[in-house]
Amino acid sequence: MRSLLTLASGCALLAACATQSIVTLQEHPKATARDLEEVTAVLKRDFRERGQAKLSRIELDDVQRVCNLHADNPPAELARPLEEAQLKAIPIPNGELIGDWKRGERIAQSGRGSMWTDKAGVQDGGGCYNCHQLSPKEAAFGTIGPSLAGFGKTRGSNREMQQYAYGKIYNAKAYNLCSQMPRLGHAGTLNEQQIKDLVALLLDPASPVNQ
């Protein structure tokens, strides 16, 4: 096969990949629709359902398909309408979007909730520290995503910023189509209250993120 393929069918074991279909095709040369079909067929052949890890995790939606076919850099005319559709589909709750930052910190620290051994519907963690620095006092964090230290301190916590933070956590691909950040709300990894608690972690002045 002409494309360099990175197959992560084991993503069902990682909360950060929860309910997402992870098939990354790097352009070497550019992947084709046929390449993608072949990779998906291999995953369907070899993947076995266990617990809540169902074969639906392998199915690609339009966003994932476009990003895979264009090596995470699709042309604007393809990306823009998909981003707009994803943004419109985010159910922003009415009222206050800032929950409890202490619960948010526990959610950020935990990666449990979508492993095959976990009970379906039990959401415990977002694994945020796997990719981001949040609290400046936390020594262990990933660097795949940008540092979020001082997020609310530098941006404020008005309604517009609350909506942005909530939407970004719910579905980052609404803002950047091929973002590597998992769609935590869209995928059902986190519920509404948990996302509000993470918004609090980012925006509440008392949060360790803003110290």
Summarised one tens digit per residue, pLDDT across range 48-71 is: 888 878 888 788 899 999 999 999
Same domain, 106 and 188: yes
Confidence of residue 88 (pLDDT cuts 50, 70, 90): very high
95 in a domain, yes or no? Answer: no
Give the model confidence (pLDDT) of 99-147 as tens digits: 999 999 999 999 777 777 877 766 678 899 999 999 999 999 999 999 9
Asked whether 16 and 108 are in contact (CB, 8 A), the reply is no
Give the total number of structural domains in the chain. 2
The pLDDT score that the predictor gives to residue 1 is 37
Same domain, 39 and 114: no
* CB neighbourhood size of 2 (10 A): 11
123 in a domain, yes or no? Answer: yes
pTM of the complete model? 0.81
Same domain, 31 and 118: no
Same domain, 55 and 139: no
Same domain, 113 and 205: yes
The residue from 37, 59, 74 where one domain ends is 74
Same domain, 105 and 67: no
Rounded distance, CA 53 to CA 74, Å? 29
17 in a domain, yes or no? Answer: yes
Same domain, 55 and 129: no
Rg (CA), the chain: 18
- For residue 13, the enclosing domain spans 4-74
